[in-house]
Structure 1
Amino acid sequence: MFSENLKNLRKQNGFSQEELATRLHVVRQTISKWEKNLSVPDADTLIRLAEILDVSVSELLGASVENEKSADDIAIQLSRINEQLAIKNRRSRRIWKVVGITLAVIVLLYVFMMVFFSAQYISDTDQNKQQIITEETVIIDD
């Protein structure tokens, strides 16, 4: 896949993320996102990246593109990669949403139980106090 190829080729050529970013006129975080498979470069940047790393675009993408000079072919490959990233991101967001809702429900149940049991405890304590007062009153009256 592109992200793994980019990282390996960058290291083989002895570039840091910062150095590669400077050559491409992007920020280091952009290179990091590409290597973490969070985004992909546009077609023009991909061509420049391949030239800097001295490899073909198809080698960088990890797939064969018949006519590497054709921006349309490169755009199609990038489109496929972007679709895969979008699917991965949607799954990730769904998972985090489910985790968040689950945690919220647990917290709400905990708060509800605390309120319910503290009200029960207060009620029991009040009854015990009244019983003690009643018993003291009976003892004093005798």
Structure 2
Amino acid sequence: MSVPDSSMLIILANELDTTVSELLGEPIAESTTDDLKILSEKLEVINLQLAKRSITKVKTIRWILISLCAVIVVIFIALASTNSFYLDWNYNDPELAVAGTILHGFEFLFVRLAPIVFWTSVVGIVVTYKKR
């Protein structure tokens, strides 16, 4: 019918080894261990998703680097097999002169830059295969 003073409720709860909310007849909230368990399960799912995304990204980078190495090797083989055929062209013809100059420029740059790109890609592939 009446409620004791708040200080009296605290003293009664301490003496009876219970909570004030139990003395007042209010429902007790579930323990926080269940909340922590649910939260930890959600965090675990998020961590697994992030790890999977990271692994997928590393695999994608690795396959791009492998493809780049393969393309470089194929172009080197193609250039070696053609043996600079454009050098025998008649450069008095303007169209052949432009095409030959473009081919020679490509070959010149490719032969100088491709080894650097190739070895950088090889290093990148090795780094992506290292265990973490």
TM-score w.r.t. the length of structure 2 is 0.46
Greater Rg over alpha carbons, structure: 2
For CA contacts below 8 A with separation 6 or more, give which structure has more relative contact order: 2
